[in-house]
Amino acid sequence: MTQRLSPGATVGILGGGQLGRMMAIAAAAYGLKTHIYAPDPESPAFEVAGRHTLAAYDDEAALVAFAAAVDVVTYEFENVPADTVHLLSRHVPLFPDDKALAITQDRLTEKTFVAGLGIPTAPFNDVAEVADLEAALAAFGRPAILKTRRFGYDGKGQVKIGPGDDAAAALAAIGHVPAILEGFVPFTREISVVAARDREGNFAAYDVCENEHRNHILDVTRVPSAIPAKLADEAIAATRRIAEALGYVGVIAVEMFVLEGDADAPDGRIIVNEIAPRVHNSGHWTIEGAVTSQFAQHIRAVCGWPLGSTRRTGRVEMRNLIGEDVDRWQEIAGDPELHLHLYGKGSARPGRKMGHVTRVVPE
């Protein structure tokens, strides 16, 4: 029997950005307290949480005190150091667990895991040395993408290798750290599945999201996706297989590419690009566009509550406000049908996610 946290309990959240902030707001609606742990004094999530700890992720004394002050721990980002997770796990339940983190922190481990489930990915190979890279380039052809195994996000830690590019220079460009080479995949669409699995193994997915990126950063998400229903079902089934294989608890997001159809698969094919063991930018539309937001859903799952409905309430478009896009807030606030979300961040640096805006059109 799952231990269900009661209202009044405290959810600990590692990370103080917009995802932690929106999780804390969702927890408050359920009468749960939140305690944010983050190293940045300007963390936007501190503003909406009853308690916070300002400390580094490797501050053992602060972590032990944090674990003692909360009833469960979750996180807003997948690069939580393994030592942090292990230390916390000895003192307090942590979801999603260390297995989900260990697999998704490393692109090689992640892709190997996905491929091992029989789910297609782009061709990939481990790259430790220039010789590995040259062999993989020979096998996959060019262009191909060299990515660091760890700590990549929003296009950081990756470099495209075209016909004339030098392999050694590419490896140097990413700092000569452990990497993988991914073969280039000519996709027609980018989609994601945001879903949740509760502590008893129940699974619920939102409708497939169709995503557009700009400068490697999510720009727009539209739901429903225009892909055929059969592909959407496959995308959700793949996500479920991944969540079940991980014994996952919480919200998970799986980014995928849709490939052109061919004789064997006239509707096209899906390949998995990346797993995010957390709430995801492409799920922000669920705040107004679904019965249960991804943030509320995640809180439910990690607290041992049953899942809420993922039913969509209309056709949805979510647009990120990146950097100086946020200067448009007055225009957005002036459209009575738009839902403006701002994250309370100070300076609108280029590429920084400052907020988002959602429109839900009744169907």
Which residues sit at the interface with a copy of itself, rule CB under 8 A?
4, 6-8, 21, 24-25, 28-34, 46-50, 291-292, 300, 305-309, 311, 313-314, 326, 329-330, 333-334, 336-337, 339-346, 355, 360, 362
CB nearer to a copy of itself: give 6 or 215: 6
User: 315 pairs with which residues across the strands?
Assistant: 361
The one-letter amino acid code at 173 reads A
CB of 320 to a copy of itself, least distance (A): 14
CB atoms within 10 A of CB 191: 25
CB nearer to a copy of itself: give 264 or 337: 337
Cβ atoms of 107 and 180 closer than 8 Å: yes
CB nearer to a copy of itself: give 2 or 188: 2
- The four Cα atoms 99, 102, 105, 106 give a dihedral, to 10 degrees, of -120
Nearest to 109 by CA among 147, 160, 57: 147
CB of 334 to a copy of itself, least distance (A): 5
CA 363, distance to chain mean position in Å, is: 28
d(C-alpha 318, C-alpha 285), whole Å: 6
CB of 104 to a copy of itself, least distance (A): 27
Q: Please classify residue 233 by burial: count the beta carbons closer than 10 Å to its beta carbon, then call 0-12 exposed, 13-18 middle and 19+ buried.
A: exposed
d(C-alpha 12, C-alpha 77), whole Å: 13
CB of 342 to a copy of itself, least distance (A): 3
DSSP 177: -
* Continuous segment of H or E residues that includes residue 26: helix 18-29
CB nearer to a copy of itself: give 350 or 362: 362
Cβ atoms of 44 and 107 closer than 8 Å: no
CB nearer to a copy of itself: give 47 or 126: 47
CB of 17 to a copy of itself, least distance (A): 14
Cβ atoms of 38 and 46 closer than 8 Å: yes
Q: At what angle do helices 294-302 and 18-29 cross, to 10 degrees?
A: 70
Please give the structure tokens belonging to residue 55.
């400390």
CB nearer to a copy of itself: give 46 or 140: 46
CB nearer to a copy of itself: give 226 or 333: 333
CB of 173 to a copy of itself, least distance (A): 36
CB of 297 to a copy of itself, least distance (A): 10
